[in-house]
Chains A and B, each alone.
Chain A
Amino acid sequence: MSGMNALLEIKNLSKLFHGPAGSRIHVLDGINFTIDSAGNDDRLTSVLSPAGAGKTTLLKIISALEKPSSGEVILKEKKYLQPDGSIVYIPENASSFPWMSVNENIEFALNLKKISKEEVKKRKDEVISLVGLSGYGNHYPHEKSSGFRFRISLARALAIQPEVILLDDCFKNLHSETKKELHDLIKSIKQQLNVSFILATSNISEAIDLSGNILLLKKNPGKIFRQINVIEFNKNHQGEDKNVSLKSEIEKSFEHADERMNIF
Chain B
Amino acid sequence: MSKKAYHKNSRILLTGLFFIWLILFEFVIPGNGFLPKPSIVFLSFGSLIKDYHLWRNFGVTVSEIYFALIISYFVDWLLCKYITGNEWFFSALDAFYKLFKFLPAVILGMFLILWFPNSNFNGVIFSLLIFIIPMAVKVKEESYKVKPEYIDAATSLGAGKNELSKNVIWKAVQPSLLNYIFELHYLAWLLLIVFEFMKGGYGLGSIYRDALRYKDLSALFSISIITGITIFAGFYLLKYFKNKFIHWSNF
Contact = CB atoms under 8 A, between A and B. Distances in A.
Contact of A97 (B150, B246, B249): B150
A126 B115 CA distance: 62
Interface in B135-188: 147-150, 152-159, 163, 167-168, 171-172, 174
Contacts of B159: 112
Given A95-B150, A100-B171, 19 more contacts: A60-B152, A63-B156, A65-B152, A88-B156, A88-B157, A90-B153, A91-B149, A91-B152, A91-B153, A93-B149, A95-B147, A97-B167, A98-B248, A108-B157, A109-B157, A112-B158, A140-B247, A140-B248, A153-B153
Contacts of B153: 89-91, 95, 153, 156
Nearest to B247: A140
A83 to B, nearest CB: 5
Interface of B: 147-150, 152-159, 163, 167-168, 171-172, 174, 246-249
Contacts of A65: 152, 155-156
Interface size class of A (residues with CB under 8 A): 20 to 34
A58 interface: no
A83 B248 contact: no
A77 interface: no
A96 to B, nearest CB: 8
Contacts of B172: 99
Interface of A: 60, 63-65, 83-85, 87-93, 95, 97-100, 108-109, 112-113, 140, 142, 153, 156-157, 160, 166
B163 A89 contact: no
A85 B156 contact: yes
B174 A89 contact: no
Contacts of B148: 91
Nearest to A153: B153
Most A C-beta atoms less than 10 A away, residue of B174, B246, B247: B247
A84 to B, nearest CB: 5
A64 B167 CA distance: 21
A160 B156 contact: no
Which of A87, A95, A142, A156 has the most chain B CB atoms inside 10 A of its CB? A95
A91 B155 CA distance: 12
5 shortest interchain CB distances as A-B pairs:
A85-B158, A95-B153, A98-B248, A89-B156, A91-B149
B168 A97 contact: yes
A130 to B, nearest CB: 17
B171 A97 contact: yes
A217 B125 CA distance: 60
Contacts of A84: 158
B248 A99 contact: yes
A142 B248 contact: yes
Contacts of A99: 171-172, 174, 246-248
Contact of B157 (A93, A100, A112): A112
B152 A160 contact: no
A11 to B, nearest CB: 20
A89 B158 contact: no
